[in-house]
Structure 1
Amino acid sequence: MGVPKKRTSSMRRDRRRAANYKIKPANVTKCPKCKEPVLSHRACPTCGTYKGEQITPGE
């Protein structure tokens, strides 16, 4: 079984781990009805529409 010859430094270890924990920006689009920013696959909090249909009481 393979054994490391040298100890992995904390900087190298952390740099390797950091690649898996990148912060991804929120996927924000514009509502087709009121043009307000809305998270994808969510009803618009301003006008209450989702995929062109009125879901919640809005304007």
Structure 2
Amino acid sequence: MAVPKRKKSRANTHSRRSMWKTTATALTTCANKACGAPVRPHTACANCGHYAGRQVLEV
């Protein structure tokens, strides 16, 4: 099993992990004109139950 000879410096560790940050999920408005609530893309609206212009959930 391979074992590192030297401890990785803190700078190298931080530079390697610098791209690990997360991004906030994008929100769109509900397709239902009467609702207009912010929803995640490709998800049924929790407020009115519409998805892709039709009613899919009973709310």
TM-score, length basis structure 2: 0.72
| Alignment RMSD | 1.7
Structure 1 residue runs without a partner (length 5+): 1-5
In 2, Cα distance between equivalents of 1:57 and 1:25: 28
- Superposition misfits of 4+ residues, deviation over 4 angstroms: none
What is the Cα deviation at residue 13 of structure 1?
1.8
Structure 2 residue runs without a partner (length 5+): 1-5
The answer to which structure, 1 or 2, has the higher relative contact order (CA under 8 A, 6+ apart) is 2
Deviations 1:1-48 (A, max 9, x none): xxxxx86421222222221x1111112100021110001111000000
